[in-house]
Amino acid sequence: MGFLKWVREELGFNKNTKYQRTYLNETNIKTAIYMSFIVLILELWMIIRYVRKRPGLAFWEYFDGETNYLIFFSAAVVLFLFSFRYTKHIKKRVPGIILSGAVLLLDFIMTGRFLYKNAGSMGTAEILFGLKYYIILAALSIMYLAYEIKISKQGKRNDFYGQLLNILFAVICLGFGIETSLYDVSKSRQILCFVTMIIFVACMLIWKPFVSVAILGVSFIYFYRLWYPTLYELDVATNGRVLEGDQINYFVFWIVMAMLSISIYQQRRHEAEKDENLIAVNKKLERAAVEDDLTGIHNIFYFNQEAEKMLKSPDVDISKKLFLFLNVENFKTYNDQFGYQAGNEYLTALALLICDAFPGDLVARQSDDHFAVFTDDDKVMEKTELVRKKVKSNESEVYLELKVGAFRPKGRDTDPRVAIDCARYACSLIKNKFGKNYMEYNDDVDSEFHKRQYIVNHIDSAVQNGYIKVYYQPVVWADSEELCGYEALARWIDPTYGFLSPGEFIPVLEEYRQIHKLDACIFEQVCRNMREGIDLGFSVLPVSLNFSRLDFELMDAVGLLEDLIEKYDIPKDMLHVEITESALTENMGVLEEAMKRIKEDGFAMWLDDFGAGYSSFNVLKDFEFDVLKIDMTFLKGFEKNEKSPIILNAIIQLADSIGMRSLTEGVETDEAADFLRKAGCGRLQGYLFGKPMPIEDVRKRIQNGTYTVSDKHI
């Protein structure tokens, strides 16, 4: 079974792919260019020789003798032109039409002359046999004419015509080879013409070996039968020395030719197969380069590239164009609740939904649950609303919301990456804002946006040039109002933007994961100031440092503290670590490890902003904090809201009963201070006792008696 299959495959009975068929056909036709060109030159030479040998004949009389040369020459011209046009993808049809018409006309003239000369002396069968090459040539030129008129007009290429023209040409070759060689043999010459033509045909007809083998086989047998009488005669004359040797050689030659055509075919098929695989791989790579692998829609690289092209195209009216950034709010919860797989499915469905809502527009997934669209501003609200409704109507109980930021390109040289960044920024401004789902980037947003870009791009130079300054805000004992410590707060005093407050730069630096650079700079300044203070003989007090959750991911924050303590030779109890309550989410990661190390190292740990976020008392249970810093929001409207004092009282007592010391921040009035003092809150911090200020101001105030430094530290 395996053997039969192998034979079938070797002979080309198996079905090739379309690519393989086209490949084989094209290489065949390429070969035909060379073959027909050789014939063309050869026959031209033969014609010239023929005419020169017979000078002085009337024009018609030249057609009476050997017309084979002319037929063969004409066939070669037709095949050459066809093959050349076909492989070189030439569009011009006129030369082909004129030429095939001319060949056809010549064929008619030759046929006419043949009939005129022989009609009287020959029977119908004889005439038809005599006309066989004229008929084939007519078929060849008509086929080519039809190809030029029908097929090439439609700009299509057609394998069928190529194969048929090749076969017709092969038949002429073989016929010519057989006839000439029979003539040669009768004159005791070699069968070289037959051999040459067989090789010609074997090279030209390589698209199915069984076809080549069959055509060659028929030709060999046919020729052998006609050759046999001569061979036999020779054999008799030489006492049996011819037939045996020539027969063997002859059939070996046939087998070799058959093998040759099989081998060339297999070789080409193999090349085609490789080519096809390569093309498939390339296509895959090309697709991967433009496709988002999760959702199957375009990826952001493709989006940027195409948007750039569209912006540059004069046919696109950019005044009507908008870049959109779409963000699904709360998608993380969806993922957490239903798993990654469900999340992916949701995103895929959403991607298709967005594509449907913006038909014909550029749509891509940027990352996570973020999508980018490049569209016309016409009906954009309706379209986004359509998507939003679908987002909200998801069947799960997770509350999802779609927020859209938009950006109008300012000119043709707008960079789509920047445009999407701007739209994204506009979108971020309506984050968690109920009822506001669409925000366009405008001038106000623009200046804000540039400030952010500035911050991210200049943090390194700000650190290097000393634009980052540490300010100290006093912390006092509630009872004596004597200074017991400070909180270190960062300020950015910039030559371009002037005074920047942490509210402006901290969230940006956190978003772009640059916050550790600022914090490292602040920590070092605090230690340096303290060393200076000690050396100058000031009474120094503990300073609490604000740590961002990201500090523990982006640098070895605890290691840095340890190094600084050593470098500046500072007692450990002089530095306190503030960790904001919102950092202590479920996903603790490296933070938990770091907190353990802080405790082990002997630094005091403060829980900052208690009550500002979604407080969980578990935080108090699970972690070892020394000081509870009660957020200033409790003091907002303290006098008017009767619940505030009750809650504050409870928190202070709670802290006390679990062995934590308490500090309330944001104390601005004497009433608040009085209340907190009575409630048992030990430490106070707020504008009432002093705003954050440079170290020089702190020292001045101590010197001029505004502040009294307590002997007792926090």
Binding residues for Mg ion, per CB under 5 A? 546, 578, 608-609
Distance CA 656, CA 463 (A): 40
| Nearest residue (CB) to ligand C2E, 346 versus 471 | 471
The token pair that represents 213 in the structure block: 């083998």
Distance CA 426, CA 440 (A): 6
Residues 459-488 that bind ligand C2E (CB under 6 A): 473
Distance CA 12, CA 168 (A): 21
**Quick one: what does residue 369 bind among Mg ion, ligand C2E, none, with the CB cut-off 5 to 8 Å set by partner type?**
none
329 binds ligand C2E (CB under 6 A): no
Least distance to ligand C2E from the beta carbon of 649, Å?
20
**Quick one: what does residue 181 bind among Mg ion, ligand C2E, none, with the CB cut-off 5 to 8 Å set by partner type?**
none
Given a contact cutoff of 8 angstroms between Cβ atoms, the answer to whether 549 and 492 are in contact is no
**Quick one: what does residue 506 bind among Mg ion, ligand C2E, none, with the CB cut-off 5 to 8 Å set by partner type?**
ligand C2E
Given a contact cutoff of 8 angstroms between Cβ atoms, the answer to whether 16 and 26 are in contact is no
- Please report how many Cα atoms fall inside a 13 Å half-sphere around the Cα of residue 422, on the Cβ side: 23
369 binds ligand C2E (CB under 6 A): no
Least distance to Mg ion from the beta carbon of 635, Å?
12
CA 393 to chain centre: 32
| Nearest residue (CB) to Mg ion, 322 versus 684 | 684
Measured N-to-C along each axis, helices 300-312 and 243-290 cross at an angle, to the nearest 10 degrees, of 80
Both ends of the chain: CA-CA distance in Å? 93
**Applying CB under 6 A, which of residues 43, 148, 291, 609 lies at the interface with ligand C2E?**
609
Residues 663-682 that bind ligand C2E (CB under 6 A): 665-668
Least distance to ligand C2E from the beta carbon of 439, Å?
25
Given a contact cutoff of 8 angstroms between Cβ atoms, the answer to whether 363 and 372 are in contact is yes
Least distance to ligand C2E from the beta carbon of 492, Å?
10
Distance CA 697, CA 474 (A): 11
List the x/- string, 518-557, binding to ligand C2E by CB under 6 A.
Answer: -x--x-----------------------x-x---------
Answer yes or no: 665 catalytic: yes
| Nearest residue (CB) to ligand C2E, 20 versus 580 | 580
| Nearest residue (CB) to ligand C2E, 310 versus 688 | 688
- Please list, in sequence order, all residues whose beta carbon lies within 8 angstroms of the beta carbon of residue 268, skipping any fewer than 6 positions away: 23, 24, 27, 206
Least distance to ligand C2E from the beta carbon of 667, Å?
6
Given a contact cutoff of 8 angstroms between Cβ atoms, the answer to whether 608 and 633 are in contact is no
| Nearest residue (CB) to Mg ion, 152 versus 662 | 662
Tell me the three state secondary structure of residue 544.
strand
Q: What is the DSSP string of 375-402?
A: EESTTHHHHHHHHHHHHHT-SSSS--EE
581 binds ligand C2E (CB under 6 A): no
608 binds ligand C2E (CB under 6 A): yes
Least distance to ligand C2E from the beta carbon of 580, Å?
6
Least distance to ligand C2E from the beta carbon of 426, Å?
24
Torsion sign over Cα 424, 429, 432, 438: negative
**Quick one: what does residue 503 bind among ligand C2E, Mg ion, none, with the CB cut-off 5 to 8 Å set by partner type?**
ligand C2E
Distance CA 135, CA 114 (A): 12
Least distance to ligand C2E from the beta carbon of 443, Å?
26
Kindly determine how many residues on this chain lie close enough to bind ligand C2E according to the rule CB under 6 A. Answer: 24
**Applying CB under 6 A, which of residues 380, 506, 574, 594 lies at the interface with ligand C2E?**
506
| Nearest residue (CB) to ligand C2E, 67 versus 685 | 685
**Quick one: what does residue 24 bind among ligand C2E, Mg ion, none, with the CB cut-off 5 to 8 Å set by partner type?**
none
**Quick one: what does residue 324 bind among ligand C2E, Mg ion, none, with the CB cut-off 5 to 8 Å set by partner type?**
none
136 binds ligand C2E (CB under 6 A): no
Instruction: Name the strands in the sheet holding 298-299, side by side, starting at the edge strand that comes first in the sequence.
Output: 298-299, 362-367, 370-376, 321-329, 401-407, 438-440
Least distance to Mg ion from the beta carbon of 712, Å?
21
CA 640 to chain centre: 59
Looking at residue 17, the DSSP 8-state letter turns out to be P
**Quick one: what does residue 501 bind among ligand C2E, Mg ion, none, with the CB cut-off 5 to 8 Å set by partner type?**
ligand C2E
**Quick one: what does residue 67 bind among ligand C2E, Mg ion, none, with the CB cut-off 5 to 8 Å set by partner type?**
none
List the x/- string, 646-665, binding to ligand C2E by CB under 6 A.
Answer: -------------------x
Distance CA 533, CA 570 (A): 11
| Nearest residue (CB) to ligand C2E, 485 versus 686 | 686
| Nearest residue (CB) to ligand C2E, 79 versus 632 | 632
Q: What torsion do the CA atoms of 337, 339, 341, 345 make, to the nearest 10 degrees? A: 10
| Nearest residue (CB) to Mg ion, 420 versus 628 | 628
Least distance to ligand C2E from the beta carbon of 545, Å?
7
Residues 588-607 that bind ligand C2E (CB under 6 A): none
- Please list, in sequence order, all residues whose beta carbon lies within 8 angstroms of the beta carbon of residue 448, skipping any fewer than 6 positions away: 425
The token pair that represents 253 in the structure block: 């030659």
Catalytic residue among 665, 668, 671, 696: 665
**Quick one: what does residue 666 bind among Mg ion, ligand C2E, none, with the CB cut-off 5 to 8 Å set by partner type?**
ligand C2E
CA-to-CA dists, residue 460 to 123, 464, 469, 563, angstroms: 105, 6, 14, 21
The token pair that represents 526 in the structure block: 């605090």
Q: What is the DSSP string of 605-621?
A: EEEEEETTSS--THHHH
Looking at residue 148, the DSSP 8-state letter turns out to be I
CA-to-CA dists, residue 620 to 303, 624, 634, angstroms: 48, 7, 18
| Nearest residue (CB) to Mg ion, 292 versus 665 | 665
Measured N-to-C along each axis, helices 557-568 and 590-601 cross at an angle, to the nearest 10 degrees, of 20
Residues that are catalytic: 665
Give the binding site for ligand C2E (CB under 6 A).
Answer: 473, 489-490, 501-503, 506, 515, 519, 522, 546, 548, 580, 608-609, 632, 665-668, 685-687, 692
